[in-house]
Amino acid sequence: MWRIPAVGERMRVFQLARLYRTLGMLLRGGIAIVPALDMVTGLLSAALQPRLLSATRFIHEGTTISHAFETTGLTTAVALRMLRVGERAGNMGEMMERIAAFHDEEMARWAEWITKLLGPMLMLVMGLVIGAVVVLMYLPIFQLADSIR
């Protein structure tokens, strides 16, 4: 599933939204960033866990959160800008929760678009199946009528 272009990216964004939301809650609760990152490692899929561990190592060495997440691919373009604003303003917890809310809205829009796309396609497939059944039912009757002549 991760290799399918559109689906894989949406799964990644969904995972990142969970990461940002949980990190935001932990940071707002007063937990330091490195222990918070250690706590949320289990939330991510096996494909993203090594990236989070690398980001944790970078942050532990003194790199900013935004740079560590950008380097390891744990951010989107919008999230990166919001992380930088949060670092400057000093409210990383709130900003991470806002990033998660943004990604949730994006996922909801994508799911709605897919639903609108699949509805007509499903109707078309059902019409083709029903049409094929009707043709297959009448075909023997037509063949019988031809053999009587």
What is the CATH classification number for the domain harbouring 71?
1.20.81.30
Question: What pTM value is reported for the model?
Answer: 0.75
Domain tally, the chain: 1
Q: What is the DSSP letter of 42?
A: G
Q: What one-letter code names the amino acid at 65?
A: I
The whole-number pLDDT of residue 9 equals 81
| Residue 12 pLDDT > 90 | no
pLDDT at residue 103, as a whole number: 93
Q: CB 136: neighbour CB atoms within 10 A? A: 9
- Give the count of beta carbons closer than 10 Å to the beta carbon of residue 17: 21
Give the pLDDT score at 27: 92
DSSP 4: S
Mean pLDDT confidence for 138-142: 87
Supply the range of the domain harboring residue 45: 5-148
pLDDT on residue 142: 84
pLDDT of residue 143: 84
- Each residue of 73-105: pLDDT tens digit? 999 999 999 999 999 998 999 999 999 999 999
